[in-house]
Amino acid sequence: MINMFNALNELGADRDGIRLFDHSSPDLLAYSTILMVRDHDDDLRLVEGVYEWQEAPLMFLVDGNRLNADLDRLKRIRRILAMRGDAPYLGVVYPGRLDVYRIALDRHSLAKVRVDAGVADDETWLTFARLANLRPAAEINDRTWITGVILKLLDQAISSLKVDGGLSGEDAISLVGRALFMRFLADRGLLPSASDIIGSELGSAETVPEDYELFDWPDLVRLSCV
């Protein structure tokens, strides 16, 4: 494994701005949604931390040696972080080298979203200063587009419930709102399993398959929302 502090220091990073997820600290509270999922997500587990600039996230950090050139995993990590973090960049750290990618939900090739920090080979110590101050390509990652993506998904879900499920507009909006809130709770590990909910309400969970989710069938929806 790479010594993240040493590798980033060579690129001009301030040690006080490095937040490693395996080092418990109050500074990681802002990344609680990532940490919760990271415990059971093999892809996010490769994200070892974040680099902050002026107390705001600038770059999520992946150990290049642990990634082992798995570009498909890197693509998945990039998309997950687009919905779960505010940093504009994803950095894959190698000894003496940093590959930087713009974070977004698009499906572009990694080559297309690769970011050039614009530093000469003998000025790599300026890498983080240039990324933080000039933000190359970061303007494309305007956070307002994520709001648009979420609103589009919500609209599609509501429309589907009205057309395919025969629900009224008010009922469809209410159900989608409840599902969104349940997703919020699930991300933080605050929900029991589907089997536990059925068992506590009906006295038996034997009829519930292990892979059922809370909104998979009407009785589970009802019991999840009481």
pLDDT tier at 17 (50, 70, 90 boundaries)? very high
Distance (Å) of CA 179 to CA 46, 62, 137, 169, 206: 29, 32, 35, 15, 24
| pLDDT band at residue 205 using 50, 70 and 90 as cut-offs | very low
Residue with the two structure tokens 């919500």: 154
Q: Is 162 exposed, middle or buried (0-12, 13-18, 19+ CB in 10 A)?
A: middle
Higher-scoring residue by pLDDT: 201, 185:
185
Q: Cβ-count burial of 171 within 10 angstroms (0-12 exposed, 13-18 middle, 19+ buried)?
A: middle
Half-sphere exposure (Cβ direction) of 72: Cα atoms closer than 13 Å: 1
The helix (run of H) or strand (run of E) holding residue 56 is strand 56-63
Contacts of 69 (CB under 8 A, 6+ apart): none
The Cα 110–Cα 92 span in angstroms is 12
What is the Cα–Cα distance from 175 to 67, expressed in whole angstroms? 39
Strand partners for 19: 50
The 10 Å CB-count burial string (b at 16+, else e) for 83-122 is: ebbbbbbbbbbeeeebbbbbbbeeeeeeeebebebebeee
* Higher pLDDT among residues 120 and 49, named by residue: 49
Q: What does DSSP assign to residue 26?
A: G
For the chain, the straight-line distance linking the first and the last C-alpha, in angstroms and rounded, comes to: 47
Handedness of CA 149, 133, 26, 46 (dihedral sign): positive
Q: How many CB atoms lie within 10 A of CB 202?
A: 13
Give residue-wise pLDDT tens across range 27-37. 898 888 888 88
- The model's pLDDT over 68-123, given as tens digits with 9 standing for 90+, comes to 889 999 999 998 898 776 889 999 999 888 999 999 888 889 999 999 988 888 88
Residue 141 has pLDDT above 50, yes or no: no
Q: What is the pTM of this model?
A: 0.67
| 3-class secondary-structure state, position 60 | strand
